[in-house]
A and B are shown apart, each in its own frame.
Chain A
Amino acid sequence: MNFLGYRRPDGSVGVRNYVLILPATRLCNQVAYRIGQTVAHTKTVISTGEYGRHKRDRDRQARVLVGLARNPNVAATVLIGMKEGVGYPEFQLSRLVPQIASCGKPLVAVNLSEEGGMHRAIGKGIIEARRLVYEASKIRREPFPLEKMIIGVKCGSSDPTSGISGNPAFGNLVDRVVGAGGTALFSETIEVVGAEDELAKRAVSPKVAEDLYGAVKKTEKAAAGIGEDIRTINPIPENIAAGITTLEEKSLGAIAKSGTVPLQGVLEYCQQPPGKGLYFMDGWMSSFSLPMSFAAAGCQMVFYQIGGQGMPDEDPPIYATNTGVVAPLIYVTGNPRTYQKARLHIDMTTGEVLTGEMSVSQAGERLLNLAVDIASGMLSKGETVNYMDPLEVYFEGPFL
């Protein structure tokens, strides 16, 4: 089975062909926004602030910026920064340019100070972005095998169908992608609490199991340290309304999305996987954050399993719209009622698994077909909307 993608100089394959407008620092957000408003076929990052954050968190922020630019769906990048010496060292053009340029894709750095200020930098950025978009449009899609596919899987608005008909179907998709030589990432460390023994059994080495236990322990300790009942935070109120009672119950349903294949490694937040296969990324469960984290780690697409029973209304607002910036977000539900309520947002339902009318394997096969279609250019429903939620980076804190 092949998908049609865009060949990149570093050997990766894009499923979209965007020019990314990237501010190095929050000070450059407005410049990036103006360029993105003017130039078609671009995606714009509106950066979250780096001020008052310690070095590890600034490194995270920089890893997000670099990772989004290196994502295979990006054909070229316009990076906007300030003159050398302004701001923290992690966000200097001299620091960011080599990290992005090493993947071989076109990169234009616009130095706001050298251009003569903000408005001239906007003009320069528009000229460069238009040129890059035009050049990028010459790249043709070509067929590639599934070993070039890299997806992220997330679950959210979890309800009791998530662990029965939703996440197991995602697990089957992961098994199929990884079985064909591809790569899959999953995350949400707090939602491994209570299910870590099951996952650790699948680790390829004792070191990987140890890394997994380490990540979970750190997060559980932080949760216990705040002195509030975890159940007032996670499961979230919608989960509880839908019938999920404890964090452990949510976790056991959540890890089903990782399938049954061996766990190759534990990644730091937004770290690109060093090889193929299934990886766990230490990350935050937020729907407004995690799809972006997967995109920054190099995922071409993010599959979002939505339970949705706790969503109160017909035609509900969806949890997140394209927070991945460069990687399409694809919604799938295992809850037939949710699909009825939110058909405008949800790309596919695997709800028939609930009643046994469809097997988990059949659901996985249909998901893989959807993945290949969307990878080859079909839009996800979320991509039909001109709205993007703001970036939320998973910081360690404290903020000073």
Chain B
Amino acid sequence: MKFQAIALHEKDNVGVLLEDVKKNQCVPIGGRQKHEIAARDDIRFGHKIALMDIPQGGIIQKYGHPIGVATQKIFAGEHVHIHNVGGLRAGGKSPAGKGERA
């Protein structure tokens, strides 16, 4: 079956959309994970979808590596972007972030 989002690592909690999807649409995940998730937002091609619930302060994982921190609780199927994720490095300012790495 054709997948609409790609997970780049088994442990990633976000996937990248390969097509635009609409809220409530069922999104088949491919790549390193095989499952489906219902979109909770309209999400555009290239943007990220949460593959599972992520608590506030939880690390966002992509490519098998941390790419940021959840600044609020994120539900599976939600659009994951600057409105709910902060950076951790190079002076990234985010409520739950540590800023520059020691």
Binding site for B on A (CB under 8 A): 159-161, 163-164, 190, 193-195, 198, 219-221, 223-231, 240, 242-243, 245-249, 252-253, 309, 335, 337, 354-356
**B62-82 interface (Cβ within 8 A of A):** 62-63, 65-68, 80-82
Indicate if the CB atoms of B86 and A164 lie closer than 8 Å: no
Q: A160-B47, A224-B99 are in contact. List 9 more A-B contacts (CB 8 A).
A: A163-B8, A193-B90, A194-B65, A195-B65, A220-B90, A221-B100, A245-B80, A246-B87, A355-B18
Interchain nearest-CB distance for A388 vs B (Å): 31
A195: B residues at CB distance < 8 A: 65
Q: Does B39 contact A (CB under 8 A)?
A: no
Please, how many angstroms separate the alpha-carbon atoms of A245 and B60 in the complex? 10
Indicate if the CB atoms of B46 and A220 lie closer than 8 Å: no
Indicate if the CB atoms of B67 and A245 lie closer than 8 Å: yes
Please, how many angstroms separate the alpha-carbon atoms of A228 and B93 in the complex? 8
Indicate if the CB atoms of A337 and B92 lie closer than 8 Å: no
Indicate if the CB atoms of B90 and A224 lie closer than 8 Å: yes
Helix, strand, loop or mixed for chain B's interface?
A: loop
Interchain nearest-CB distance for A117 vs B (Å): 50
Across chains A and B, which 7 residue pairs bring their CB atoms closest together, nearest first? A224-B91, A243-B47, A246-B87, A249-B67, A243-B46, A160-B46, A246-B68
Q: Within the complex, which residue of A223, A245, A337 is in contact with B90, where a contact is CB–CB below 8 Å?
A: A223
A224: B residues at CB distance < 8 A: 90-91, 99-100
> How many residues belonging to B are interface residues under a CB distance threshold of 8 Å?
33
A245: B residues at CB distance < 8 A: 48, 60, 67-68, 80-82, 85, 87
Please, how many angstroms separate the alpha-carbon atoms of A113 and B86 in the complex? 58
Indicate if the CB atoms of B85 and A246 lie closer than 8 Å: yes
Binding site for A on B (CB under 8 A): 6, 8, 16-18, 30, 44-48, 60, 62-63, 65-68, 80-82, 85-93, 99-101
Interchain nearest-CB distance for B49 vs A (Å): 10
B45: A residues at CB distance < 8 A: 243, 309, 337
Indicate if the CB atoms of B90 and A159 lie closer than 8 Å: no
A240: B residues at CB distance < 8 A: 81-82
Indicate if the CB atoms of B92 and A247 lie closer than 8 Å: yes
B88: A residues at CB distance < 8 A: 194, 246, 248
Indicate if the CB atoms of A164 and B65 lie closer than 8 Å: no
Could you pull out 23 A-B pairs where Cβ atoms are within 8 angstroms?
A160-B47, A163-B63, A193-B89, A194-B66, A194-B88, A219-B90, A221-B100, A223-B91, A224-B91, A230-B92, A231-B92, A245-B48, A245-B82, A246-B67, A246-B87, A246-B88, A246-B92, A248-B65, A248-B89, A249-B67, A309-B45, A354-B6, A356-B30
